[in-house]
Amino acid sequence: MLKRMVNALRGSVRLEVSGAFPERFLNLCAQRGIVFWNVEWLEATRLRLTVTRQGSGPARALGDKVLCTVVLAEQSGVPFFLGRFRRRYALLVGLALSLTAVCVLSQFVLTIEVEGNEAVSTAEILTELRRQGLRPGVYGPGLDEGTISSAALLGLPELAWMSVNLHGTRAEVLVREAVPAPEVDDEEQVGSIVARSSGIVTHIEPLSGEALVAQGDTVLAGEVLISGAVTLDAPQYSELENLGQILVRAQGQVFARTWHTMTASIPLEAQVKSYTGEKASRWTLSILGHRIDFFGKSGISFPGYDKITDTWALTLPGGREMPLALSRETCRAYTLAAAPVDADAAERLLEERLLEALRARLGDGEVVHTSFSSAQRDGRLEVTLQAECTEEIGRFVPLESITEENEAEP
């Protein structure tokens, strides 16, 4: 196997020798140090043998000395294969350019892969890396991975760690997202729990502070539910009514039945697109992040149009996308025409949107009962939601804010 590989690399020639005494030709080749092998006798006066590419010339010259005719029968090996292309200059130039392109492009970053992100989007990370100098087409050996990672982390506070590793033309970016710190109440800040909205108290659970309402009480928005001013009772048999008050941070939960009224409206006439059939296409080539527009300075003359973009990116068999893409932007012209809106469908849509807004307002609260009413006014459909809910209505307000609100009241 090794000899075959060596012979293929240096090239070999198959010669056919014919004459009265072909064996004298073999003896003379051995005396002159011409290596030969694979001797095949065809007749008593004719044989074939294989010599090296360098030995083929001297071997053919020895034929005249022993009165034998030496004819070239076959050539094989890499040198003869490449020799076929000696006069194909375009192919040689293309091969040279291809090798040069491979050597040059291997020094540049062609793709960037981001791994480890969930909450932070890949687009945000790539945008910040571009600000720091890492982008497709940048010269790889000129990059300082550590400096880029540190600078990018300063621009992305949602990340706790980042590592940039270069693997040839591929830049691998590994990130770890920061764990948000839990919200901790400031125990030194005193205040009270007040009502976020009006309602009837169904359950109250004070953890600190003094409860000012009880189950079944009706409260108004802004009313103090759990006071941060706690009155200290005097000892038994004391002549004092109390020992005064201390200020604490009121904590606890207050649940209540609440009622909400929400309204939404929509026009009963909408502008609908009607496509005219006119269209225009513009082509763009993106190479290493640089755009090449083929439409020059020509613009779109349509007053109204939809834009549809199709992109074909160069993708390797493994799914790796290269920074080379061809895009076609198609603009379809349309005109606007007024059309009536289906009132029933619009009413259902508004009801769904109102319920979504109500649930977002309640948070962990529950919707007990809902009713809808609708009316048409001035070309618009108006839907009103009335809902009975159960929710936690308490919210903490610092003592300073409560004092300022009381002083502002007449």
**Domain co-membership, 244 together with 276:** no
The domain that contains 68 carries what CATH number? 3.30.70.260
Give the tens place of pLDDT for each residue, 131-178: 999 988 888 888 899 999 999 999 999 999 999 999 888 899 999 999
**Count of structural domains within the chain:** 4
Domain that holds residue 17: 1-83
State residue 401's pLDDT score. 58
Inter-residue contact 378 to 308 (CB < 8 Å): no
Please report the pLDDT score of residue 323 as a whole number: 82
- Does residue 261 fall inside a structural domain? no
Query: Looking at the domain assignment, is residue 11 inside a domain?
Result: yes
Strand 191-195 with 224-227, pairing: antiparallel
Q: Is residue 228 part of a domain?
A: yes
284 and 332 both lie in a single domain = yes
123 and 145 part of one domain = yes
The answer to whether residues 77 and 9 belong to one domain is: yes
Residue 136 placed within a domain:
yes
Closest CA to 116 of 105, 125, 129, 127: 125
Instruction: Indicate if 146 and 205 belong to the same structural domain.
Output: no
- 162 in the same domain as 137: yes
Rama region for 129: left / alpha / beta (φ>0; ψ in -120 to 50; rest): alpha
Give pLDDT, residue 242: 64
Is residue 266 classed as helix, strand or coil in its secondary structure?
Answer: strand
User: What CATH number does residue 141 fall under?
Assistant: 3.10.20.310
To which residue do tokens 């022993």 refer?
66
User: Where is pLDDT greater, at 321 or 389?
Assistant: 389
Q: What does pLDDT average to over the chain?
A: 86
In a domain, 371, yes or no: no
* Distance, CA of 66 to CA of 62 (rounded, Å): 7
Residue 350 has pLDDT above 90, yes or no: yes
What stretch of H or E contains 245? strand 242-247
Residue at 185 is within a domain: no
Is 210 a domain residue?
Answer: yes
Q: State which of 177, 199, 215 marks the end of a domain.
A: 177
Query: Are residues 117 and 70 located together in one domain of the fold?
Result: no
In this structure, what are the phi and psi dihedrals at residue 407, rounded to the nearest 5 degrees?
Answer: -70, -30
Specify if 215 maps to a domain. yes
Exposure string of 153-176, with b = 16+ CB inside 10 Å and e = fewer, is: beebeebeebebeeeebebebebe
pLDDT digits (tens, 9 = 90+) for 85-108: 667 777 777 778 888 877 877 888
State the pTM of this model: 0.58
Contact call for residues 253 and 226 (beta carbons, < 8 A): no
pLDDT, tens digit, 9 for 90 and up, residues 42-84: 888 889 999 988 888 888 888 888 888 888 888 888 787 777 7
DSSP 184-231: ---TTS-EEEEESS-EEEEEEEEEESEE---TT-EE-TT-EEEESEEE
